[in-house]
Amino acid sequence: MRCATVKGTSAVTLLDLQGLSVTIPSPAGPVRAVRSIDLRIAKGEIHGLIGESGCGKTMTGMALLGLTPAGAQVAARVFQFDGIDLSTSAAVLRGRRIALISQDPAAALNPVLTIGRQMDNVLRTHSPHSEADRRAGAVALLAATGLPDADKLMTSYPHQLSGGMQQRVVIAQALATGADFLIADEPTTALDVAVGAQVLALLRQLVADRGLTILMITHDMDVVAAVCDRATVLYAGLSVETGPASAILTCPRHPYAAALLAALPDAAPHGQRLAAIDGQIPPSTKPISGCAFAPRCPAAMTLCHTVSPPVRVQGDHLWACHLAEGAP
């Protein structure tokens, strides 16, 4: 199939990461959790960050939140959020402009506090309003996430809610901080398929209604297809392809992205769609020579094993490969 040229975009950039690396000390030597990731996200976009387990998705999110493990070294050529330098301000922006929605809502909520108390704990630190106004605000935010009987829910405890309802409360808490950038780390993994689809629809609606921007971390191409405007594919701590989600899904250029799609039958069970490529990601304790994907790549050439691939650019679609046109 001949792929259409993807035009560039003039959208306003909110997040700009170039050459992000996160290195964690360990007894086995430094762990290169993130080797070099470029990520540019426009305001109002849902941007998918996709790749197999261990490729550095969560650690990228943690770097944005200023929550990397003790002793980790975080470096980048460019590390900016809305023009603010994240290398010095990530912790300040966390819970003000940037909030996390994790894959385990039960763990994100305090089991011994009511939903109302937990909402108020967030609102108190972010608004000067009276207790009555904060209560009304909490109910409105819970209702905005589609929770029925939001008023009654204020006196409930997390264990009285289903997983899908708990995730909506976590989203309401994120909104209560006033954050305009959400990092959603596999937010539907712990939910069944139908409930997960409802949570994705809610996030899409919040982007439209409130002008949010979302980094959608996922290992599931279905999630990219369902809600993402653009996506970045990670492999072994490296960003290997980025572009409009539709272009990556229909015309992947990097052989790894192509293998992710081609190797997976439509009948693959939901949530297990990235398990089908032969071979392993290189160990994160080992340096990489040449292209990281070379040992698994069906199109690998001799130089792929020793020379880092160049970045190919076609409009708004970028990929790193020695093949000028990308995946055959």
Ligand X SMILES: Nc1ncnc2c1ncn2[C@@H]1O[C@H](COP(=O)(O)OP(=O)(O)O)[C@@H](O)[C@H]1O
Instruction: Name the token pair of 252.
Output: 């992947």
Q: Is 122 in the site for ligand SF4 (CB under 6 A)?
A: no
Per-residue contact string for residues 59-78; x = within reach of ligand X by CB under 6 A: x---------x---------
Stretch that binds ligand SF4, among 1-9, 205-213, 273-281, 286-294 (CB under 6 A): 286-294
281 binds ligand SF4 (CB under 6 A): no
Closer Cβ to Mg ion, 45 or 186, answer by number: 186
How many residues of this chain interact with ligand X, rule: CB under 6 A?
14
Q: Is 304 in the site for ligand SF4 (CB under 6 A)?
A: yes
Number of H helices, E strands in the chain: 11, 13
Three-class DSSP category at 43: coil
**Distant-in-sequence, close-in-space partners of 193: CB < 8 Å, separation ≥ 6:** 270
**Does residue 54 bind ligand X (CB under 6 A)?**
yes
Calpha distance 231→284 (Å, rounded): 23
| Structure tokens given for 234 | 């990670």
Residue 165 touching ligand SF4 (CB under 6 A): no
| Separation of alpha carbons 35 and 32, rounded Å | 6
What is the C-alpha separation between 210 and 217, in angstroms, rounded?
20
Q: Could you say whether residue 284 binds ligand X (CB under 6 A)?
A: yes
Torsion angle of alpha carbons 261, 266, 272, 277, nearest 10°?
A: -40
Q: Is residue 321 involved in binding ligand SF4 (CB under 6 A)?
A: yes
Distance CA 116, CA 152 (A): 9
Per rule CB under 6 A, is residue 237 in the interface with ligand SF4?
no
Q: Which amino acid is at 1?
A: M
**Closest distance to ligand X from the beta carbon of 80 (Å):** 21
Positions in the binding site for ligand X (CB under 6 A): 24, 26, 31, 33, 51, 53-59, 69, 284
Positions in the binding site for ligand SF4 (CB under 6 A): 254-255, 291, 293-294, 297, 299-301, 304, 309, 321-323
